[in-house]
Amino acid sequence: MKQKKIIVLGCTGSIGQSTTTICRHHPDLFTITALAAHTNEEELLNLAEEFNVSALCLSGRHPDSDKIHFSSRADLLKMIEETEADIVINGIPGAAGLLPSVTTINSGKTLALANKETVVMAGKLIKELAAEKNSLIIPLDSEHSAIFNLLQKISTDSVEEVILTASGGAFRDTPLSELKYVTVKDALLHPTWSMGKKITIDSATMANKGLEVLEAHHLFDFALDKIHILVHPQSYVHSLIRTTDSSLYAQISKPNMTIPIQNALTYPEITTCMYGRLNLVDCTFTFRAIDSEKYPIVETAYKAASLDRAYPTAFNAANEIAVDAFMHGKIEFLDIPVVVQETLEADWGMMLVSFEHVLSLDKEARDLAIQIVKRYSK
């Protein structure tokens, strides 16, 4: 297998850490040519020294070290453009990951995408750009990675149903009546995955599944009525596809991000991965339907997807504002889906005409969500 050059965006986060672990164990297959972090300068410099990387970006503040030559979000885009690489791992959370994805595609590099907001906010535009540039988008979410890999073997025309699995998050066994009293600390206690704070809160509200429905809809061109969610507490089954003959196909492994990231890096080949071997003898697999009363934000996501246009953009923006407000003690946990729902009651029926337009509408939705948050502030 030819050695591949990699840029890692969000190198100090969970996706970045998994990526550098893979590179650490496969120096013959991967070399890192650039690293980006938001504010964790110390870890950025440690990784730069370990992997002998000179192209470094600290996008969230001015760096103290003169070894870091890129120091803003604009500089980050410049670094992506100027650095030679085959693949860009986009592990930047939230809407901030959109323009790095656009720049990656425009510069002719393969986009390995953990930033689901790129597709949620601008799905049609990003797909059109990738087609225009003949650029490949490989999803890194374990659910979408599973679908992507299954579709290498199964024709899309044969797919009757796609099932995204959900761990259920921190409150999967907590009655709805008790959610009124949960704290940020409670919501961050994910039973399976170790992730960033925002996505862990999204898992607790199930907003992450709503975002994943939107992502699957655009990435794979599946109709919404073909995309369903099941709660699977063990997180061994990452997604399933049901074909028209009623057969079910699944990708199954330990709940570890190493396999989807490594598969993206080695695509279209597969190589040995030492982290994911699952002993079926020791496993139990259970599934249950999602509780729509407990997780109303999922229905809101489906509605946003069906309305299309700028509604998914507004959904994502409002959710980011609501989660941030909850984490800062401004609103209660159960207020998060309410803020999102009320934001979507505005008219977001305008066509998205450019990425700049997307970002403008994203700001409008955030401004509206901030006003709604004030009504629910404690």
Three-state SS sequence of 15-63: HHHHHHHHHHHCCCCEEEEEEEECCCHHHHHHHHHHHCCCEEEECCCCC
Instruction: Assess contact for 165 and 250: CB atoms under 8 A.
Output: no
Those residues whose C-beta lies under 8 Å from the C-beta of residue 108, and which sit 6 or more positions away, are 133, 135
Instruction: Assess contact for 184 and 327: CB atoms under 8 A.
Output: yes
Q: What is the pLDDT of residue 363?
A: 98
Question: Range(s) for CATH 3.40.50.720 in the chain?
Answer: 4-139
Q: How many CA atoms lie within 13 A of 138 on its CB side?
A: 20
Q: How many CA atoms lie within 13 A of 33 on its CB side?
A: 18
Residue 115 clears pLDDT 70, i.e. is over it? yes
- Calpha distance 246→168 (Å, rounded): 26
Residue 133 clears pLDDT 70, i.e. is over it? yes
Residue 100 clears pLDDT 90, i.e. is over it? yes
Q: What is the pLDDT of residue 259?
A: 93
Pairing of strands 87-90, 110-113: parallel
Mean pLDDT of all residues in the chain? Answer: 95
Per-residue pLDDT band at 277 (split at 50, 70, 90): confident
Choosing among 3.40.50.720, 3.30.70.120, 1.10.8.10, 1.20.1330.10, the CATH entry for 4-139 is 3.40.50.720
Q: What is the pLDDT of residue 274?
A: 74
Q: What is the pLDDT of residue 275?
A: 74
Judged by average pLDDT, the poorest of 163-172, 193-202, 208-217, 357-366 is 193-202
- Region 243-248: what's the mean pLDDT? 98
Q: Percentage of the chain surpassing pLDDT 70?
A: 99
Q: Percentage of the chain surpassing pLDDT 90?
A: 91
Per-residue pLDDT band at 193 (split at 50, 70, 90): low
- Region 223-230: what's the mean pLDDT? 97
Judged by average pLDDT, the poorest of 116-120, 182-186, 274-278 is 274-278
Those residues whose C-beta lies under 8 Å from the C-beta of residue 206, and which sit 6 or more positions away, are 166, 169, 290, 295, 297, 298
Per-residue pLDDT band at 190 (split at 50, 70, 90): confident
- Region 180-192: what's the mean pLDDT? 89
3-class secondary-structure state, position 374: helix
Per-residue pLDDT band at 196 (split at 50, 70, 90): confident
Residue 192 clears pLDDT 90, i.e. is over it? no
What is the length of the chain?
378
- Region 247-270: what's the mean pLDDT? 94
Name the token pair of 339.
């803020």
Instruction: Assess contact for 108 and 86: CB atoms under 8 A.
Output: no
Q: What is the pLDDT of residue 191?
A: 75
DSSP 247: -
92 phi-psi bin (left φ>0, alpha ψ -120 to 50, beta other) = beta
Is there a cis peptide before residue 268, judged by omega within 30 degrees of 0?
yes
- What DSSP string describes 158-196? GEEEEEEEE---TTTTS-GGGGGG--HHHHT--SS----
- Region 336-348: what's the mean pLDDT? 98
Q: pTM for the full model?
A: 0.94
**Range 184-209 burial, b when 16+ CB lie within 10 A, else e:** beebbebbbbebbebbbbbbbbbbbb
- Calpha distance 343→349 (Å, rounded): 13
pLDDT tens, position by position, 5-59: 999 999 999 999 999 999 999 999 999 999 999 999 999 999 999 999 999 999 9
